[in-house]
Amino acid sequence: MATQNSRSAARLMMAPAVILLLGWMLVPLTMTLWFSFRKYLPLRGGDQGWVGFDNYVRFVSSSSFWPSVQTTLIIVGGVLIITVVFGILLALLLDQPMWGQGVVRILVIAPFFVMPTVSALVWKNIFMDPVNGLFAHLWKFFGATPVEWLSQASVQSIIMIVSWQWLPFATLILLTAVQSLDGERLEASEMDGANPLQRFGYIVLPHLARAITIVVLIQTIFLLSIFAEIFVTTGGAFGTKTLSYLIFQRVLESQNIGLGSAGGIYAVILANIVAIFLMRIVGKNLDA
C-alpha cells in the first residue's frame, strides 16, 4: 500500500516537469507539422491554405537537397572519426602519470566551454584568414602560397573547427573509460605475451567499445544540427550547406515557411533513424 501511495505521489510531483517538457517538445513539433502542409510565404501573400505533400516533394526534388545530405554526412562522419581516434589517443596519453596532470586535463577540456560562434570566428579570423591568419604566416614562412581555407577546403575547414570543439568531450568520456580499466588485466595480457599493440587491440579497445558508442551517439545527435560554425564562416557557400543550413535558408532567405517546415520534418526523421540505429548498438553493448 505504501509503495502504491508513494508511487502515485511521485507521479503527481513529477507531472509539472513532464508536462512542461512535453509541451516544449510537442508544440513546436506540431506547429512544424502544421506549416509543412501549408503554403505559407510571409512576404508574398502569407498563409495561403493547404497544399498536401507539395512542400515535401519540392524540398526533396530541389537541386540542393541531395548535396546538402551528402555534406551533412561528410561533416558528421569526419568529425566522428577525428574525435574518436584522437580522443582515444589523447585519453591514453592523459592517463599516463605526469607532472601537472590536473592542469593539463583542464586545458584539454577547455575548448568545450567556448561557444560555437566564438570558436568559429576565432578559427576564421586568427587561424584561417588567407592574409593575416597564423596558417597563412606559417605557409609563407616555408615559402608556400597560403591556402584560402574557407573557400578552397571549406568542408575540411569546418570539420576541423567542429572537431576541435568536440574533441574534449570525446577525450573526457574516453579518459574515464581508460581509467576504469583494471591494471591487473593489462599485466595479465603482458604476461600472456601480448605486445603493446596487441594489448591495445585485444584488451583496451574492447574495453572502450561502450564509451566509443556513447560518444558516437551523443555527438551524432548534436552534430546533425551544427549551424553556427557554417553561418559564421562560409554562410553555406562552397559546398558547406548542410541539411539544417538548407532549412534555415528556405525559411529565412527564401521566406518560405511551409517548405522549411517540410525540411525540418525530414531532419527529425533522419535524426530518429540515426538515434534508433545507435540505441540498438548501445543496447547490444550494454548486454555484454
Partner 1 sequence: MGRITLKEVTKSFGTVEVIKPINLEIEDGEFVVFVGPSGCGKSTLLRLIAGLEDVTSGHIEINGTDATAIPPAKRGLAMVFQSYALYPHMSVRKNIAFPLKMAGVDKTEINRKVDEAARVLNLSDYIDRRPGQLSGGQRQRVAIGRAIVREPDAFLFDEPLSNLDAALRGNMRLEISELHQTLATTMIYVTHDQVEAMTMANKIVVLRDGIIEQVGAPIDLYKNPRNLFVAEFIGSPKMNIIKGDAATELGAPTVGIRPEHLEVSKTKGKWKGTVGVSEHLGSDTFLHIEAEGIGTVNVRADGEIDLHHGDVAWLTPQVDKLHRFDATGLAI
Chain residues in the site for partner 1 (CB under 8 A)? 182, 184-185, 187-194, 198, 202-203, 206-207, 209, 288
Contact 201, 53 (CB under 8 A): no
- Which residue, 76 or 208, is less far from partner 1 as judged by CB? 208
**Smallest separation, CB 175 to partner 1 (Å):** 20
- Rounded to whole angstroms, the Cα distance separating 209 from 200 reads 12
Contact 269, 87 (CB under 8 A): no
- Rounded to whole angstroms, the Cα distance separating 5 from 40 reads 50
**Smallest separation, CB 84 to partner 1 (Å):** 18
- Which residue, 196 or 235, is less far from partner 1 as judged by CB? 196
- Rounded to whole angstroms, the Cα distance separating 87 from 39 reads 46
Name the CA dihedral angle for 189, 193, 196, 202, rounded to a multiple of 10 degrees. Answer: -50
Task: Give residue 78's Cα distance to chain centre.
Answer: 10
Contact 92, 176 (CB under 8 A): no
**Smallest separation, CB 193 to partner 1 (Å):** 4
Dihedral of CA 110/115/116/120: which sign?
negative
- Which residue, 187 or 253, is less far from partner 1 as judged by CB? 187
**Smallest separation, CB 183 to partner 1 (Å):** 9
Dihedral of CA 285/176/215/25: which sign?
positive
**Smallest separation, CB 218 to partner 1 (Å):** 22
- Which residue, 85 or 188, is less far from partner 1 as judged by CB? 188
**Smallest separation, CB 92 to partner 1 (Å):** 18
- Which residue, 100 or 193, is less far from partner 1 as judged by CB? 193
**Smallest separation, CB 85 to partner 1 (Å):** 21
- Rounded to whole angstroms, the Cα distance separating 158 from 20 reads 36
- Which residue, 51 or 282, is less far from partner 1 as judged by CB? 282
**Smallest separation, CB 105 to partner 1 (Å):** 24
Reported as half-sphere exposure (CB side, CA atoms, 13 A), residue 101 has a value of 9
Task: Show the cell assigned to 212.
Answer: 566509443
- Which residue, 172 or 177, is less far from partner 1 as judged by CB? 177
Distances (CA, A) of 90 to 27, 53, 146, 147, 228: 42, 49, 29, 28, 27
- Which residue, 113 or 184, is less far from partner 1 as judged by CB? 184
